[in-house]
Structure 1
Amino acid sequence: MFKKKPNIKPLSPLKSSDRRRTADQIIADFGLQVPVDSSAEAEDKAASAAPLTALRKSLLPENSQSARFTTTAGPDLKQVSGTIYAGSHEGTGDEQRILWVKVEDKMYPTVYTLWHNPGIVPLLHTPQFVVEKLQGGADLMTPGLQRGPPFPAKATKGAVVAIASLEAPTVPMAVGTCEIDVASLQEVRGAKGHAVQTFHWSGDELWAWGPSGKPGLEPPDHLEGWADDKAGDADLAAPMDRLDLEGGHDGGVALDSVPTDRPDGEEVAAEASRSKNDLVEEVEEPELTTKEIDEAFTNAFLYGVKHHMDHNKDHPTYGLDFPLTQSQVMSLLVQPFLPTYTPARTASLQLKKTSWKNAKKFIKHLDKEKIIKSKERGGSEVVILDIDFNDEHIKSFVPYRLPKKESATTTGVKSDSASSAAGEDIGQKLQIVSLWRPKEKLAFVFNASNADPRGYYTLKELRQLLSAYAEKENLVSPKNKRMIKINPQLADALLTSSAADDRALAAGEIPIDALAERMQAASSPFHAILRNEATIADAKPKAGLPPKIHIVLETRSGNKTVTKVSGLEAFYVSPQPLADELRKTCAGSTSVERLQGSSPKNPVMEVMVQGPQKDAVVRALGKRGVEPRWIEVVDKTKGKKKG
């Protein structure tokens, strides 16, 4: 929920009476047991009240402050407001951190409160690699639940729970709400659906908040008080961290065929062995060779051309407007048509892993094969001037299965059958640029190259700056140029206490690619959506990951279906002209209204069309430069999420 930084008003001190009343309400809501001092005499009221006072201070320290906040959540950007409670626990020396969040009438503890108050909420477990996905904002799916059944008795539907990894079972890393009665589950293997809706996690904007701007505190290695009585999980977690995630679960995280039974003694070893032999080998396929990756990209291009020929037969150039830039070639003719592999092998399908390394050389290769005619432009880019649609490579190409149906939709090309009601967005060209802004602890990397430590950088630029820093500090391994020696600054800024980082520290070196990934994770995501000839210099990057246009199919008035479209403004699409065009192409009524929950000052408009018109909407957006991968489709008429 807090991937985006909330708008927090100035903090104000919490009155003693308000603090006690709020703490007592927390104790009541979470059913906490107040310790009893058996040595205190009944007449000694101060001694009898001491345990309650101590519990109150532990939950809400005496220095606690509160403030109102607002943020947005969900695909509809619903406005959410509430109260945060910040403070620091006595004797820790830490600066103030957000300890509790109140939304509507519900209180949620943050990880800082959980680290100081063991057992105040039920603790659920899942493997570390699933926790990492939760820290990206995903929800926990039912098959991802581990160390049960039985599960904690208080983990009922609507209950606030904490989530820890099997590798660090006593350290809560996320907080959420049970969407089902987890306590009553008898079996999770083969189950489907959400188990926990994630609210907050270690690494989000609540965790990162602090009055001085310092980054959030790293989690401890072990905590006393949280139950850790199930032996063997650490051993079983080792093979699990290599399993792939199961897709198609509404953005949540699940496990694929992970055993949930927990036998004892010799059966634990047998189960762990079965996990390694039967499960890990099943998904651990070797990476694609360079030759196979080259063939995949060439075939994707041929597929893209063939697809445009089949779907734009009446257009003289089959719906393609020449010249085609490198970015257009990759986004229109290559990326949507890359072949399907297992998730592990799909990660190999990157242009940098081809023999050409970049789009410019790839296009020149196609020119050399006489499939296309290209020309250099500006010395740094190659454009396609023409495609030989009669080339034998294209004519004899046999299509293959694609990852998603929407991947093969013709998008982003200008159509000569534009609606008379179309606006200026028809035929526009859009580009989404993902940027990262480094946090303060990475300043030393940028200072080495005299770069702005608070600037915005692409992933490629981050890696280049990291390489420059390594060369300047003589950290590049003489035996292997891809390995970087770890100095204290890099260790403090980018490495954690995970097993992989511990091995890297022991070796004294780490691959530069792995270090670049940690550098990305230690930076805040931003994005810019560029229109037509605009460059990144013309745009003001916005915080967070790039948005998506949302298409929702719903049933109304019994069995009537409507299609709703929102999030158009960020992509420079005018809602009213789009509605006018859809009214004609779909032969049904349309309307444009402000999306419920959006700000009246900066409203998000919603276009509604009669009938199940997803495909028509996608085609209309394609004429406006919107690619299918920027669209999220939710079909509520079937209870499934697509796209």
Structure 2
Amino acid sequence: MFQKPFRTKSNTLLRSSDKKRLRSEVEKSFSADGFSLPITEVIGNKEEVYILKLYSHKGDNVAIYSMRNSPVLFEHEKKIFPSVYFLWEHTMLVPSIPTQTFVIQKLANGADLMLPGVVFHPNLDFPCFERGSVVAINTLENSSALAVGVALMSSNEMLESIDKRGKAVHILHVFGDHLWSLGEKTQPPTIPHTFDTHENSTLDKNTELENLVENVEINSSEVETETTDTTEAGCSLEGGDKQSTDTEESVENETDTLMEKESIDESTSVEEETEIEEVIDMDEVLRVCFMTAIKSTLKDNQLPILASSFYRSHVLPCSPPDVNLEIKKTSYKKLGKYLKSVAATGLIEVKELTKGADSIVKVNRSHQDYCHFKVVKREADTNESEEKNTEVQFGVVTQKQYEPPEISLLCGVNAATLSFFKEMGVSKGGVLMPTEVRSLVTEYVNMNNLAEGRYVKLDPILHNTLFGRQGSADVTQESWENVFKILTSKMQVHYQLKFKNMTPIVHKGTPPCVEISTQKRTGNKKVTLVKNLESFLIDPHQFMDVIRKSAQASTSISLLPNSKPNHPFYQVLVQGNQVQNVESILTGELYKLPRKYLKGLENAPKPKGKRK
């Protein structure tokens, strides 16, 4: 539904009466499956909820409810659906169906989830749901929701299907689509599944023990039959009795040793678990992670922050790599109880801004515990912090902090220069750096002994490449610099955008520019138009919010008519002549774009002369 750009109809703040209606509908929709949703925590009384009404690319009417700069719910055909942002905070809200990782990319391209794509793992409980229920899609590697849809089969129909064919889920919303791009554009959290491996291992051990005992009994019965046969043949009964007693003793010895081995394994595993529990003090781990979070990752401009969001986004990432922080294994059992104990010391201030949800509103950075605590930085942490600024999952690229690209010009091999580069093993369409072109020319000249001091003798191939078949027939030599200059001028111009931790982006032509223009509208009012931000991976929605706050002017965004569905380009409109504000934002600390890649700066208002 949101794979292609949609058309916005209106975006307004939700009234209190509509907010109550939304609360009742959400509670009715998602509390029927036995999951108690704290509705006051989800949609607080003082929480600002915006409703965005739009038309999808197929013409469907959709209402999107947004809170805290991210869409949380959307309504389609009088039914409420959660977004992936909402499901990352409330993981047990709807049943989750696991699939393979490569299937997510298929869903992002507009496909529905087919029954062969559903994974029925033996150690993972398959959820129960009816046909028409709202379900989420995740992977075996990560239990976080990556898609939302409507079940076209019940869970029993999926499990009892023999041929495993047909559509299982009709997909409405996928991570990375245009609904996700309306939010903060964060990557899904990594939450591993809890596989039931212990019960299966004990069952396997019991079955192995039973099989061994059965084999021993079968062997003993075979031996008994052999002894009876030998006694009938005239063998002594004493020998037969002795042999049977030996087999019985061997059976007893084998079963005893097996039982002893099982008891030893169980005792050692219990001892190892007690040793681990004794070594790891979960209260101390919680304290270190909490102090590290408020001293290194939590900034004052992020306050107030919900306690649950602080724990998920700041405390858990600070846990050591070999220890899983679990609040239930501490003496506090609950996060709220621990925060109250910390607040009693005066280090933080906790308030209930929304009913039933605690928030951290202040951190006392002059507190004695805060000043004496030292953050332990690991080498792996520094490397991860550099790498995690740019994250890529399922083809979706996000940057926590925008970093400008390195822009460079490249030279492409075309028909005019193919005769020379073909001799050097470069085919048509190859793209080279200017330094690589220079090295290839030098290698060719030295290989054919064409160097004469400051000049280069032109053989037929080099002469034909530089001047053509009928041009400058009397020129037999050229300087080194002229050879390089003429050759690169005849090649196809390319440009390269190299972002950090991303594969370089190469396109034909000269480097792009952000186009800034002004227009006069009705009433002789001027507006500023900004487009082509996507060429530098700048989010136009984020830029619109920044320019609105900076210029204190109304803004809007529209889809350009000539943009492609897979690569949409938007145009940001700002009331008034805001060229100088646009320049200061794009060249400032946030985006750091070079001024030469901004086109239309001459449209800025001229400074007024001094009055006489």
TM-score range, shorter chain: 0.3 to 0.5
Normalising by structure 1, we get a TM-score of 0.33
Normalising by structure 2, we get a TM-score of 0.35
Give the greater-gyration-radius structure (CA).
Answer: 2
Structure number with higher relative contact order (C-alpha < 8 Å, ≥ 6 residues apart): 1
